[in-house]
């Protein structure tokens, strides 16, 4: 037996053209590699079918222009030109008829001229999702591997442009969408943090991007003895310098999608930075109560830095950390003050003592936000932001700080974050129809 893949064109009831795309002998496979078509064959088949389909579509798109659009006289044919079109898996070049007139008018119709782009929206979205997840050059290599060929439309510059474009569209969609809570949640968790990114602008050092993650207690689950995960969540992100307006609004909408109402109690986790707590405070009028907890992840980091600077006093520092962990922050702070005083009497290195000073100040300034972290862990309650898959590490650092020399424009970072937050919130599919409408508008 043989399998034939044929493209047959009909006009009315009559066959006007028939093309054999592929013929293959059907035989018993000797390995799994021989079952069905290989990926490269599938790409080739689709490309061949498209090459029979697209020219006929474009011949209808590029209608004859017998009349000059400028003076109204009869137009003349002025040779054929090549029109490019880039589909998801293949590139196509079509011949189109050009026209001209003695008055100087010329017409060379193109797909870009008709629709504002010669790249299919599906490809733009593929470029954007990969560009948001990985460095643009890595995305270029990934698409080339999937396409079984390198295509100029998929170079890293084009991928960056696509990512930025989709990000701009998502920013508009997100800021304009009206969100009403479909269900009321009695309790929600909110984690807010920021990450600094090197600025590409002249004489600028860095700017901060803000990330907030909202999820319900039902989504917080234990995976293993020392690992928890968040099953579902909504993420808001912004790198805009607008006094927090965008991140506040997007965080509110994220919370509403998780069921925020005037009867909801929010438990918020931050690292102590005022700009993080200001995002939390913005939700106060929309909920019943906010419980603020200083994120344990950052407390632990501060203690680790102190131990690294003062390894000989590890036991004393660990003892302080133990007190804070078990909900006795005043006792923990007291131990650090005593250790610092003792070391100061010995004319100890001030640069190392600064690590102790920082912890003392950090804990003292956030005393009301310190809880019994051990108790929360025992009761399988969140106490740190490092369980959030969409925290600063996964949303910012892995994408924007892979190489220390990487620099970014603030607006590009913001746009890229809109794509990432949509993907990791599980909302990418929800926005597809709106994105398509914006792309073809």
How far, in Å, CA of 143 to CA of 163, rounded? 14
pLDDT given at position 195: 87
Q: What is the pLDDT of residues 31-76, one digit of tens each?
A: 999 999 999 999 999 999 999 999 999 989 998 888 998 999 999 9
- Position 235 scores a pLDDT of 94
Q: Is the pLDDT of residue 313 over 90?
A: yes
DSSP 397: I
Domain locations in the chain?
2-115, 121-175, 177-295+384-408, 298-367
3-state secondary structure string across 55-107: HHHHHHHCCCCCECCCCCCECEEEEEEEEEEECCCCEEEEEEEEEECCCCCEE
- pLDDT > 90: percent of the chain: 78
How many angstroms separate the CA atoms of 433 and 420, rounded?
Answer: 18
Q: Could you tell me the end-to-end alpha-carbon distance of the chain, in angstroms, rounded to an integer? A: 48
- Checking if the pLDDT of 219 tops 50, the result is yes
Asked whether residue 386 carries a pLDDT value surpassing 80, the answer given is no
Average pLDDT over residues 148-174: 97
Phi first, then psi, for residue 224 (nearest 5°) are: -150, -175
In this structure, the chain runs to a length of 441
Q: Is the pLDDT of residue 105 over 70?
A: yes
Between 78 and 385, the more confident residue is 78
Considering only residues 200 and 314, tell me which one the structure prediction assigns the higher pLDDT: 314
pLDDT (tens digit per residue) in 390-415: 455 556 666 675 555 578 899 999 99
Does 18 score more than 80 pLDDT? yes
365-378: pLDDT as tens digits: 999 999 999 999 99
pTM across the whole model: 0.87
| DSSP assignment of 221-277 | EEEETTEEEESS-EEEEE---STTHHHHHHHHHHHHHTT--TTPEEEEEE-S-HHHH
Span 284-304, pLDDT tens digits? 999 999 999 999 989 999 999
Instruction: Say whether pLDDT at 430 is over 50.
Output: yes
Q: What average pLDDT does this structure show over 418-439?
A: 94
Residue 348 has pLDDT above 80, yes or no: no
Q: Quick one: pLDDT at residue 255?
A: 97
- pLDDT value at position 402? 54
- Give 389's pLDDT tier (boundaries 50, 70, 90): very low
For 113, other C-beta atoms within 10 Å of its C-beta total: 12
Tell me what pLDDT residue 390 has.
45
pLDDT at 387: 59
Q: Of the CATH numbers 3.40.50, 3.30.310, 3.30.420, 1.25.40, which one belongs to the domain with range 177-295+384-408?
A: 3.30.420
CB crowding 147-180: b at 16 or more within 10 Å, else e: bebebebbbbebbbbbbbbbbbbbbebbeeeeee
Arithmetic mean of pLDDT, 194-221:
87
d(CA 221, CA 154): 40
Q: In this structure, what token pair is assigned to residue 9?
A: 């064109």
Tell me what the pLDDT averaged over the chain comes to: 91
Q: Which two tokens stand for residue 162?
A: 């696509």
């Amino acid at each position: 037996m043989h399998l034939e893949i044929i493209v047959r064109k009909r006009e009315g009831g009559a066959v006007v053209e028939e093309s054999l795309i592929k013929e293959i002998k059907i035989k018993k496979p000797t390995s799994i590699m021989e079952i069905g078509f290989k990926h490269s064959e599938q790409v080739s088949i689709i490309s061949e079918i498209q090459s029979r389909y697209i020219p006929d579509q474009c011949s209808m798109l590029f209608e004859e222009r017998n009349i000059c659009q400028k003076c109204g006289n009869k137009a003349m044919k002025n040779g054929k030109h090549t029109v490019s079109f880039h589909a998801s898996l293949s590139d196509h070049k079509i011949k189109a008829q050009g026209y001209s007139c003695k008055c100087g008018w010329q017409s060379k119709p193109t797909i870009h001229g008709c629709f504002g782009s010669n790249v299919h929206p599906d490809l733009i979205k593929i470029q954007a999702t990969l560009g948001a997840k990985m460095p643009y050059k890595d995305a270029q290599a990934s698409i080339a591997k999937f396409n079984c060929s390198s295509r100029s439309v998929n170079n890293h510059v084009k991928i960056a442009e696509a990512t930025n474009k989709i990000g701009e569209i998502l920013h508009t969609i997100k800021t304009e969408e009206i969100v009403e809570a479909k269900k009321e949640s009695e309790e929600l968790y909110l984690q807010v943090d920021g990450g600094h990114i090197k600025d590409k602008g002249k004489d600028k050092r860095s700017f901060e991007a803000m990330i907030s993650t909202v999820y319900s207690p039902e989504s917080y689950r234990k995976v293993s003895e020392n690992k928890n995960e968040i099953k579902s969540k909504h993420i808001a992100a912004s790198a805009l310098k607008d006094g927090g307006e965008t991140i506040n609004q997007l965080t509110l909408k994220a919370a509403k999608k998780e069921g925020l109402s005037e009867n909801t109690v929010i438990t918020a986790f931050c690292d102590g930075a005022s700009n993080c707590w200001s995002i939390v405070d913005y939700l106060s009028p929309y909920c019943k109560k906010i419980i603020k907890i200083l994120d344990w992840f950052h407390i632990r980091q501060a203690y680790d830095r102190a131990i690294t600077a003062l390894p000989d006093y590890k036991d004393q520092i660990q003892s302080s950390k133990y007190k804070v962990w078990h909900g006795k922050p005043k006792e923990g702070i007291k131990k650090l003050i005593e250790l610092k005083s003792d070391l100061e009497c010995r004319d100890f290195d001030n640069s190392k003592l600064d690590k102790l000073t920082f912890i003392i100040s950090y804990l003292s300034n956030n005393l009301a936000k310190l809880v019994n972290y051990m108790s929360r862990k025992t009761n399988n309650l969140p106490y740190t932001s490092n369980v959030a898959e969409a925290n600063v590490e996964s949303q910012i650092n892995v994408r924007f700080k892979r190489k220390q020399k990487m620099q970014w424009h603030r607006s590009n970072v913001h746009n890229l974050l809109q794509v990432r937050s949509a993907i990791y919130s599980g909302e990418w599919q929800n926005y597809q129809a709106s994105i398509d409408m914006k792309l073809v508008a």
